[in-house]
Structure 1
Amino acid sequence: MPKLIHLIIGLGLIVGGCNAASLQPKVEVGAEVLLDEHLPKLEGKRVGLVMNPTARVGGSHMLDTLLARDVNVTALFAPEHGFRGDVGAGETIKEGIDQDTGLPVYSLYGSTRKPTSEMLDSVDILLFDMQDVGARFYTYNATMGNVLEAAAADSVPVWVLDRPNPAGGKLISGWMMQKQHQSFVGRYSIPMVHGMTLGELAKMIVGEQWVNSAGQAQLKVIPMEGWKRSMKWPQTGLEWIPPSPNLPTFEHAFIYLGTVFFEGINISEGRGTSDPFLKIGSPTTKLTSNHIAELRRLFSGVQVERISFMPQSMPGKAPHPDFEGQRCYGLEIQVTDPNRFDPVKLGAKLLRVMMDATPNAELNNYIQKLVGINKSELLSQLDNEAYLKTWKQTARKFAEQRKPYLIYD
């Protein structure tokens, strides 16, 4: 009977009722597939883990699961936010010892951003497992490229344990990264939102030779089972584990794809509140009813309301946020249907509206690293909405370029 109930739930039926729901079957992530099918291949290997708290299966971290299965884990590598995920955005990750296991933790988000030969001395194979959000400016893809590059130079195989793109595999949006603005928050010539999983992107990084020694890379992607490009996160049946402290839910992560613009302007993106990236504003913003009406007319699938909020310091999440302790005026966004809007288009429109409503609004140079183009070009395109045509052309071109590297559908 338990197996039957599990099957019914997996098919999306409501147990105890007479109506069937249109839920998708649960996705099996690459880490699960590894445990089910590939674990014997790790026997006798010294295994290094590039992971964070999202590397979980059945409620347990992969580190604990692998150790329980007698896998010889010898080194841990920490990306932005840390191996345990308790470090705020942009904060330096320190090397040390994992208190739970006694294993060495090497920082990949400090003065050294890729494994050194010394770090890899005790490693025969690297397992990379992290939940991404599907954005070029989210640093986990740059960390993955650095790992692939370092491992290739030292002849260390890398297995990427694939996980879903929360925004799905069809949405391609935003500007292409221009070479002069490439950085750790925008390493590759891809759109702002690329519609790929990290496993697919790893294949592309190697195939397009975007890292040194790509020809020597020993990359293996462990694909998911049951994931389709049409799926956004709620359809996967998976538990949301925050990939970073300021993305506590899928809704925060989905809106972040667009409201990330506000990290490049003197308007708060909501850090220091309960809803980062869903709240935006500043002490001098003065929104009108016309501003709100315009946003509501242009976008369905979201609700937009005028609010005020006061950012507060949150250690480990938002230490000393912009406008700390000051009353900010702006917008709160609620996602009602993520299938009905493009969050990047919403973000661009919000940026234009908020700049219009904020007398002292000023872009900083960081915006160029986020969007991938010059500030002057950005302002020009926002004024006449020329970006809509640009993004459409970019999406069409990139969709063709990425085809050889797609795993699903």
Structure 2
Amino acid sequence: MAFLSCFKNTVLLSVFTLSICGNPNNGDIRETDIISKTTKTVPVPHIVVGANQTKQYLPFLKGKKVGVVANQTSVIFKDPRIKSQEPGGKDGDTVLYTHLVDSLLSLHIDIKTVFAPEHGFRGEADAGEHVKDGKDAETGLPLISLYGKNRKPSAEQLKYLDVVVFDIQDVGTRFYTYIATLQLVMEACAENHIPILVLDRPNPNGSYVDGPTMEKEHTGFLGMTTIPLVYGMTIGEYAQMINSEGWLEKEAKADLEVIPMVNYTHKSTIHLPIRPSPNLPNDKSINLYPSLGLFEGTNVNAGRGTEFQFQRYGASFLDSTKYDYSYIPEPNFGSKHPKQEGKKCFGEDLSQIPNLKKISLKWLINAYNNTTDKSLFFNTSGFTKHAGTAKLQQQIEAGMTEEAIKKTWQPDLESFKKIREKYLIYR
């Protein structure tokens, strides 16, 4: 991207300097080392997200008309040791982060429009619930929904913009819709010759690649490209892959720049201080999401309508003699009408199991095998969209083991890893 060409030769030195002595007055984080609990001498550096690298992107935004694709996770951190998950980023009376939009406005950046993805700008809409256009109550900025009647910005909506900033926390799972929004925004920017700036954030499921690969005939908003279910890339790395692999419509190329993180690797342990969406309340739910998210294509409840979303599963039609755990889903924040609402669901509580570094099919297979009426289990269309293939349902119905099913994924996974390697910013 032309506007950052002046930084190309010094970007590594600049990023390192920011991580040590950033100026808090302009939004750059002041890096503070914390001693690891497992050693007395080695400091553990904190991850500095792209949004905090203000010196890398403010020069271009000043004097320009800016559109921002953002939600509640689009923040500039004030304290790298943040532990709070409270709305508004508060821990007691201490504000630990500010929203990117609020920060840019305070720096006199001319934001014209905010584009809101699934769950909305403030992250309050249910999964699948249409988000309406409107005006943000806190800033007065116009909000344009990318999860309503249109999911791609129109030429008219981009007409008066000079640049679009994309800053949303991803969780590294193909059917999590923010990467589809990214692709459509990139496509719209390419068509209208508007640069797009992606502020990178860590992938909490970025340490592995696993799962069935999306087949072209099943692509859609739950998977627009032929990637595995878990693809092991940050949203910035994935944006580069989309652009260079010709995955935009008519193989267009966006004028793309990614602002990288400091101190992140794909082996980093990630704690997300803000819910990335209403039904991913904590680190455990995010870790289990790639595995339990497949239940979204069935009639089994995966914890929606409880306070343990994606940390349990159950249904009224599972054999009660096979399970010693039960719960009743009820409407709550993020799930106005959960599956199996008001019914006693028999299943498993997974909230205390060790973290995974792979997809597990054992709970899905177990639930299917213990369904009292097999015709009640799959929502075939929905399951195919989530899995990216019709084969997985067929394999489960045929009684294949998890090990046997996973062997069928390997050729596609190895092919993808070779492509992925070209776009990794972090190791």
Give TM-score scaled by structure 2 length. 0.83
Q: Which runs of 5+ in 1 are unaligned?
A: 293-305
Residues 255 and 343 in structure 1, CA contact (< 8 A), matched pair in contact too: no
Local SS of the residue matching 2:159: helix
How many residues are paired up? 376
Structure 1 residues 10-409: aligned runs within 5 Å? 10-13=33-36, 20=40, 24-33=44-53, 35-58=54-77, 59-168=97-206, 170-212=207-249, 214-234=251-271, 239-286=272-319, 306-314=324-332, 316-338=333-355, 341-344=356-359, 346=360, 348-361=361-374, 362-364=377-379, 365-374=381-390, 376-379=393-396, 383-385=400-402, 386-409=404-427
Q: Supply the distance in 2 between the matched residues of 1:125 and 1:21 (Cα, whole angstroms).
A: 45
Residues 127 and 161 in structure 1, CA contact (< 8 A), matched pair in contact too: yes
Residues 243 and 253 in structure 2, CA contact (< 8 A), matched pair in contact too: no
Residues 165 and 232 in structure 1, CA contact (< 8 A), matched pair in contact too: no
Bigger mean CA offset, 125-134 vs 356-365 = 356-365
Q: Which structure has more RCO (C-alpha within 8 Å, separation ≥ 6)?
A: 1
The Cα shift of 1:260 comes to 0.8
Distance 1:7 1:48, change over 3 A: closer
Residues 310 and 324 in structure 1, CA contact (< 8 A), matched pair in contact too: yes
The Cα shift of 1:130 comes to 0.4
Q: Supply the distance in 2 between the matched residues of 1:37 and 1:157 (Cα, whole angstroms).
A: 15
Distance 1:21 1:195, change over 3 A: farther
Q: Write out per-residue CA displacement over residues 321-362 of structure 1, whole angstroms, 9 at most, x where no aligned residue.
A: 111111111100025542xx3452x2x111110111121242
Q: Write out per-residue CA displacement over residues 263-306 of structure 1, whole angstroms, 9 at most, x where no aligned residue.
A: 111211111001011110111322667xx8xxxxxxxxxxxxx4
Equivalent residue for 2:10? none
Q: Supply the distance in 1 between the matched residues of 2:108 and 2:221 (Cα, whole angstroms).
A: 35
Q: Which runs of 5+ in 2 are unaligned?
A: 1-20, 22-28, 78-96
Instruction: Supply the RMSD in Å over aligned alpha carbons.
Output: 2.2
Residues 262 and 268 in structure 1, CA contact (< 8 A), matched pair in contact too: yes
Distance 1:66 1:180, change over 3 A: same
Residues 209 and 358 in structure 2, CA contact (< 8 A), matched pair in contact too: no
The Cα shift of 1:380 comes to 5.3
Amino acid at match of 2:171: V
Q: Write out per-residue CA displacement over residues 59-101 of structure 1, whole angstroms, 9 at most, x where no aligned residue.
A: 1100000001111111000000001111010000100111111
Give TM-score scaled by structure 1 length. 0.87
Q: Supply the distance in 2 between the matched residues of 1:372 and 1:110 (Cα, whole angstroms).
A: 23
Amino acid at match of 1:219: L
Local SS of the residue matching 2:248: coil
Amino acid at match of 1:63: V
Residues 132 and 165 in structure 1, CA contact (< 8 A), matched pair in contact too: yes
Local SS of the residue matching 2:400: helix
Residues 74 and 100 in structure 2, CA contact (< 8 A), matched pair in contact too: yes
Distance 1:377 1:74, change over 3 A: same
Residues 75 and 105 in structure 1, CA contact (< 8 A), matched pair in contact too: yes
Local SS of the residue matching 2:69: strand
Q: Supply the distance in 2 between the matched residues of 1:93 and 1:181 (Cα, whole angstroms).
A: 25
Q: Supply the distance in 2 between the matched residues of 1:247 and 1:212 (Cα, whole angstroms).
A: 31
Residues 141 and 198 in structure 1, CA contact (< 8 A), matched pair in contact too: yes
Q: Supply the distance in 2 between the matched residues of 1:22 and 1:371 (Cα, whole angstroms).
A: 42
Local SS of the residue matching 1:201: helix
